[in-house]
């Protein structure tokens, strides 16, 4: 029941990499569940739409965080726990590290408060492995803005915010090197995938060969 999360700044390519990993794992005969945060259940996807709506400029950092935790609560109960319990290989696009990077690093919320509630909401659930796709925010944002044609609420935040997010992700990787693998995300999609796959194969042995 491996639980693997894909993290990184806007436009780092993690969602593409997740889809490639899922395809390769399925070809190797694995029962794979792909999901994302915020989202992954009907209720959590509605919360996601509120969070990403660029018109919601008045959304307070505290309200933003609590909505993310509300969505996570649904997701843990409805998707993550059942999938892991049946032994699936779960690939999740963003999870708790994004909360530490965006809400604590980016927005400046109290790390102790955030960690305490988040731990409760996760019910102790933590990834076995996290792939952190590292890219300069300026590069990621221009990719993301091209892709989305019109920025979402997070993409609209200034570069300094995204630099703090990146720094917070890298600090998590330094703190938990056994769990978090930093994958340089610049260059061609295929080259990045080879790096990511190498980490997955090394961690999970012959399974995802």
Residues that bind ligand TMP (CB under 6 A): 10, 36-38, 68, 93-94, 98-99, 102-103, 154
CB of 197 to ligand TMP, least distance (A): 21
> From CA 32, how far away is CA 1, in angstroms rounded?
10
CB of 95 to ligand TMP, least distance (A): 6
CB of 96 to ligand TMP, least distance (A): 7
CB of 209 to ligand TMP, least distance (A): 29
Q: H helices of the chain, where?
A: 14-27, 42-52, 61-75, 81-85, 96-98, 111-122, 137-148, 159-175, 189-204
Q: Which is nearer to ligand TMP, 99 or 130 (CB)?
A: 99
Q: Which is nearer to ligand TMP, 84 or 96 (CB)?
A: 96
Q: Which is nearer to ligand TMP, 38 or 127 (CB)?
A: 38
Beta-strand pair 89-93/3-8: parallel
Q: Which is nearer to ligand TMP, 28 or 151 (CB)?
A: 151
CA distances from 162 to 59, 166, 169, 190 (A): 18, 6, 11, 25
Rg (the chain; Cα; Å): 16
């Amino acid at each position: 029941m491996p639980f693997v999360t894909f993290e990184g700044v806007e436009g780092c390519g993690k969602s593409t990499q997740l889809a490639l990993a899922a395809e390769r794992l399925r070809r190797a005969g694995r029962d794979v569940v792909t999901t994302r945060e915020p989202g992954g259940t009907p209720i959590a996807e509605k919360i996601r739409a509120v969070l990403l709506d660029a018109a919601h400029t008045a959304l307070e950092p505290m309200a933003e965080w609590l909505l993310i935790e509300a969505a996570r609560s649904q997701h843990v109960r409805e998707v993550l726990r059942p999938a892991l319990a049946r032994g699936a290989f779960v690939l999740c696009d963003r999870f708790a590290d994004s909360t530490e990077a965006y809400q604590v690093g980016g927005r400046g919320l109290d790390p102790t408060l955030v960690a305490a509630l988040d731990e409760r909401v996760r019910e102790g659930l933590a990834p076995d492995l996290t792939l952190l796709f590292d890219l300069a925010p300026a590069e990621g944002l221009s990719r993301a803005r091209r892709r989305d044609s019109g920025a979402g609420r997070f993409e609209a935040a200034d570069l300094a915010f995204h630099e703090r997010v990146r720094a917070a992700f890298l600090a998590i990787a330094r703190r938990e090197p056994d769990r978090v693998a930093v994958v340089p995300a610049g260059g061609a999609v295929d080259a990045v995938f080879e790096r990511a796959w190498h980490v997955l194969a090394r961690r999970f042995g012959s399974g995802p060969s």
